[in-house]
Chain A
Amino acid sequence: MRDVAIVGFAQSPSHPDPIHNDVETLTPVIAEAVKRSGIPRKEIGFICSGSCDYLTGVPFAFVSALDAVGAWPPVRESHVEMDGAWALYEAWVRLQVGDVDSALVYGFGKSSVGDTRDISVAQLDPYYVAPLWPDSVSMAALQARALLEGDRRQETGDSARYTERDFAEVVARNLKNAKRNQLAQVAGVFDVEMLLQAPYDVSPLREHDCPPVSDGAAAIVLAAGELARKVHERPAWISGIDHRIEAHSLGARDLAKSPSAALAAEKAGAGQGSIDVAELHAPFSHQELILRDAMGLGEEVEINPSGGALAANPIMATGLIRIGEAASRVMNGTAKRALGHATSGPCLQQNLVCVMEAG
């Protein structure tokens, strides 16, 4: 594979933003990522974005976003109706072809204008599941319950591996980490006992186990080989990137496990060296536990120093931000090897893993 690295990353603050539309949010973010990359925008060879029409209820959300890029003269450009992390994957593939040396990737979403909890139902099997209207929190709660109860069903009689206290500890750690992230939406020091006193939203999940509703955008610049070395002192080299999907029907899956995250991590070579820091796209607290198990990330790995999706969740950019946050640690020299992860679909149905290393 051709050597490709992240050489620029920028993101907007994450919060419900009643003032700015997608283009207004994106424009400064793209400009900043491009500036940090050191590659003039007009010299960037490929552009790819990720967004979702259903968030704002408008077809072709990506069309007006082209205005934030400045697509004149015309550009080589593509779009995925997926989290920006998959746009980054498409761009990485585009750079493998060899005729283009740099790419701009962005993801954006404006969740605050709708009800994402209900809107997410539109991505379920439209004939047999969506008519039952299981919202995203209810589906995540099914998964959390499967994780809590899973081991008890075993004939061995072992007690469950995780309890609700583990969920609360994930929340407390992420929100504490978010205090160091000025762009995060939710942050603070929370006592685990206090968290466990909160009422359930959908049992066994409490409100703090669920992500906030955020608007936001992120952009990343990729460069190949010599160009990356020329423009950045410490590029975050992508040593492996892969994504896998699982069956859609919840009944066909063991919700307490994530075989697609495990396989993506394996194919991305996550286990071929120690990971210093991992940014996991876990919109619900229990999903971080499932993902850590699937990818074999032990206690020694620093997880979500940014605060993760529990602190800021601009849907369609959240996964791309994980990769950008992990890359930033390599680019600023505080990590040698970092992992960024993105997810899509109900209950972690689809997962992407990007492993980045210092040169």
Chain B
Amino acid sequence: MAERCAVVGIGQTKYSAKRPDVSMAGLVREAALRALEDADMTWKDIDAVVIGKAPDMFEGLMMPEIYLADALGAVGKPMMRVHTAGSVGGSTAIVASHLVHGGVFERVLTVAYEKQSESEATWALTIRIPFSLPLVAGAGGYFAPTIRQYIQRSGAPNDIGTMVAVKDRLNALRNPYAHLRMEGISAETVTQSPMLWDPLRYLDACPSSDGACAMVLTNEKNAEHVKNPAWILATSMRSEPISFPGRDEVSPRAGRDAAAELYKEAGITNPRDEIDVAEVYVPFSWYEPMWMENLGFAPKNEGWKMTAEGVTAFDGDLPVNPSGGVLSSNPIGASGMIRFAEAALQVRGQAEEHQVDGAKVAMGHAYGGGSQFFSMWLVGSERA
């Protein structure tokens, strides 16, 4: 890449079911101001703003960059709005990084948000249109059959999902921004929660959250004066159609291809050994083992063993979602950017209570649509 790019500022809001105290403008501004403060910058230092979020119907605000230009200090600047379904938080960060990598701008503010309490996401996902596949059950109903297929083909024990659901909620107790704070959660708590979409119970699913996440990205010239920038080692994006005969929805090729390109670009040959911590988009518990395989951390049908053996636990060999992940906070359009930002926090050594000791290389990952849109990045404490 022409120019190196690094994360030098990160800002998050507290995630919660409802933020009635702020407007959408107030929500994104809260995250953006924290990112600017972290970067030791002001609005004036920013050259361009890239904002992302999931479908506009999730709030009922069409093309929100129009309304949010003032709140994000974008007046007189370029401002773009990215939308790639659930992967959008990651894609938005990648588009922002390209502005720096490509030498177009030096300092870019990128923000992603969702204020789910303004509308109803499952309704917005369920609108029936002629000649199209209706998604009547929302996201959980859509993904449950794929999870059943994974369990069948991998022979995974039934309690793997429960283990992930407990682990991520315990991790969330270390993260002050996390939405769910479930002290004392156990396997029993999860298995006694109502069954929603077999095998997914209520506590196997992500919450519905309000929240925003922001990052300031800059080029090498500016980043080398910063104490602990998170250098972007590689980024990748891949998309594939939602449905066609023979498509592997358990381990989509778009995800495998994106991971392969990511590792190649970063010069990584053994991701399990060379990556210290991963923030992976797991909105339903079973997606942890599924993505472990898709991302090449485990051989096919053996991702569940990583969960079972505690590899992905906070004190494991490859901690996955030390922040608590999407299972603990899910402002949909921001969820991908939170993964990317949490990866950067880890290699900057700023994750405080959920800091993984000695994290030098971290992955941020997001997916969306019908497991068809993927975005991911690798960040490191050292320049590539």
Contacts and interface: CB of A to CB of B under 8 A. Distances in A.
A127 B101 CA distance: 37
15 contacts: A63-B85, A63-B242, A66-B239, A75-B239, A75-B240, A81-B63, A93-B99, A96-B102, A96-B104, A97-B102, A122-B60, A242-B78, A244-B78, A245-B78, A350-B66
B237 A260 contact: no
Contacts, number: 191
Contact of B237 (A73, A78, A245, A246): A78
Nearest to A263: B76
> Which of B67, B68, B99, B372 has its CB near the most chain A CB atoms (within 10 A)?
B67
Interface stretch (B28-36, B127-135, B310-318): B127-135
For chain A, what secondary structure do more than half of its interface residues adopt (helix, strand, loop), or is it mixed?
mixed
Given A93-B95, A96-B2, A247-B75, A345 B66 contact: yes
B266 interface: no
B91 interface: yes
Contacts of A345: 63, 66
Contacts of A78: 82, 84, 91, 95, 237
B65 interface: yes
* In the A-B complex, the 3 residue pairs with the closest CB atoms: A96-B102, A74-B254, A59-B55
A164 to B, nearest CB: 28
A284 interface: no
Given A59-B124, A71-B240, A350-B79, A245 B74 contact: yes
B78 A1 contact: no
B302 interface: no
Nearest to A58: B129
Nearest to B258: A74
A93 B30 CA distance: 28
Interface of B: 1-2, 23-24, 55-57, 59-70, 74-85, 91, 95, 98-99, 101-104, 118, 124-125, 127, 129, 131-132, 236-242, 244, 252-254, 257-258, 369-370, 372-373
B239 A344 contact: no
A71 B239 contact: yes
A73 B253 contact: yes
A120 B63 CA distance: 10
Contacts of B76: 244-246, 259-260, 263
A21 B83 CA distance: 21
A95 to B, nearest CB: 8
B244 A72 contact: yes
Contacts of A349: 66, 69
A123 interface: yes
Given A59-B57, A74-B257, A350-B79, A67 B63 contact: no
A213 to B, nearest CB: 17
A243 B78 contact: yes
Given A82-B81, A93-B99, A77 B239 contact: yes
A203 interface: no
> Which of B60, B85, B239, B244 has its CB near the most chain A CB atoms (within 10 A)?
B239
Interface stretch (A32-40, A49-57, A174-182, A292-300): A49-57
A218 B352 CA distance: 49
A89 interface: yes
Given A63-B242, A123-B61, A93 B67 contact: no
Contacts of A58: 127, 129, 132
A94 B2 CA distance: 11
B231 to A, nearest CB: 16
